[in-house]
Amino acid sequence: MRKFFTIYRLFSSIPRSPKPNPVPGNLILALGLTLLIPAFSIAEETVEFLKESQFKQAISRPFNANADRTTLHYLQRISQVQQIAILIDRRIDPTQKVEVAIAAEYFDEGIREFVKQADCEMSVVADTIFVGPPETALYLKTRIELARDEFDEIEDLSPKRQFKLLRRYELSWDAVSSPQEIIAKQADRYNIRIINLEMIPHDLWVSGTIAYPNFIEGSLMILSQYGLSFEWIDANQIRIVNQIPDVGINQGHKPKGMTLNEAITLTNQKFPKLNAREYRNSLLFTGTVEDHEAVAILIGEKQSLRQKPVASTSDSLRDVRFTFKMVEKPFGSLMATLKVQGIEVRYDAKEIQTANIDLGKIISLELNEATIHQLLEKSCEKVGLSYRLDGDVIELVVPEE
């Protein structure tokens, strides 16, 4: 379990299962991060992160969020609300400015879309989303797979020892912890001796969590942030070494539902950098774990483990439920966010201006599982507007005398 120290909790209650666009069944609206609060108002918050099947389900749901221009610190808000561990590489500046306009079919793909604005990439490892430089994040799962292969080749590795080293525990640390301390803590839990711990540079980290890694995953998620890796001496000792850049796995694939030549042509069209070729009646190439997973699905060798999100049982806007908190933001930003979510909002700008109604008026609003009528009534009355609902179209109108 990980403790967060935050200035303010943005959302009071947000469901973790929004429906697909254009009109999601539970609409998540993140409407702003500029909060008017007393200085040094600090709240301690405890988050129990999702794991295993719950984590897989959570990252396979649609993700819709919209907010003012903010920073990568927004990932901490997402992590808290969704109970999904997100680890940001030490080399990434979390104060970088980014836009929050996410409408993704899957949660993790939404995070990728978000962090790419800061020239970052992401990888899903050990029930955790790792965000880092592309040269680290894109090869992380491959480095873990190669270290696992080396582990399996250790001589005289007993089943009991193998089970112990592959067992999963949450790895968390407090602020001002050093990476040497974090790795040492990880090694002590698994009774592993690190013969050259001094290879890790002295540093101090903010608090963090890797949710439920085994020894290999947890260690490489720390070491990779310094361009380091490790090699096995035996089942009880490791040596820290420098990373080999751009590692890859050489693996063959058997297509289904198409000929081998058709599979090679299709793979090279979709992934030209992989240079897929025929070898002993298989499609062969060297690539990352993600490359091999994508090609296996492309040529029918494997089915995607990820199912399409279940569509809403109703397409009516009247069946949508809204849960969000909006603090000191313009009324117009609420309407703009509804539009981003695929909801049509109409109004006569000239009529509203003639009635001296200001769409930029600052309002605050907090709703939990509210209907569209409750949302419009509570928001429109704050600016002196009325509304009409025609099917799935919202029309803002000036109240009659």
Q: Which amino acid is located at 83 in the chain?
A: Q
Ranges for all domains in the chain classified under CATH 3.30.1370: 249-298
Could you please state the CATH topology (level 3) that the domain comprising 326-397 is classified under. Phage tail protein beta-alpha-beta fold (3.55.50)
| Res 41: pLDDT | 25
> Do residues 118 and 131 make contact, with C-beta atoms less than 8 angstroms apart?
no
- pLDDT tens per residue, range 334-386: 887 777 666 788 888 888 888 999 988 999 988 887 888 999 999 999 999 99
For residue 117 the two structure tokens come to 């604005």
| Res 338: pLDDT | 78
| Res 316: pLDDT | 66
> Do residues 351 and 370 make contact, with C-beta atoms less than 8 angstroms apart?
no
How many helices and strands, by DSSP H and E, does the chain display?
Answer: 13, 21
Strands (E), 72-173: 85-88, 97-104, 121-125, 128-132, 171-173
> Do residues 373 and 389 make contact, with C-beta atoms less than 8 angstroms apart?
yes
Distance, CA of 328 to CA of 101 (rounded, Å)? 19
- pLDDT tens per residue, range 218-251: 999 999 999 999 999 999 999 999 999 889 999 9
| Res 318: pLDDT | 74
- pLDDT tens per residue, range 219-228: 999 999 999 9
> Do residues 299 and 258 make contact, with C-beta atoms less than 8 angstroms apart?
yes
Express as a percent the part of the chain with pLDDT over 70.
Answer: 84
Instruction: Please state which CATH class domain 249-298 belongs to.
Output: alpha beta
Distance, CA of 200 to CA of 378 (rounded, Å)? 56
Bigger pLDDT: 55 vs 333:
55
Ranges for all domains in the chain classified under CATH 3.55.50.30: 326-397
Give kind and range of the element (H or E) at residue 54.
helix 52-59
For residue 344 the two structure tokens come to 């049509």
- In this structure, are strands 128-132 and 85-88 parallel, antiparallel, or unpaired? parallel
> Do residues 16 and 53 make contact, with C-beta atoms less than 8 angstroms apart?
no
Residue 86, phi-psi category: left (phi > 0), alpha (psi -120 to 50), beta (remainder): beta
CATH architecture of 140-242: 3-Layer(bab) Sandwich (3.55)
> Do residues 97 and 80 make contact, with C-beta atoms less than 8 angstroms apart?
no
Distance, CA of 105 to CA of 59 (rounded, Å)? 10
Q: Give yes or no for residue 66 having a pLDDT over 90.
A: no
- Give the Å distances, CA to CA, from 94 to 98, 132, 206: 10, 11, 12
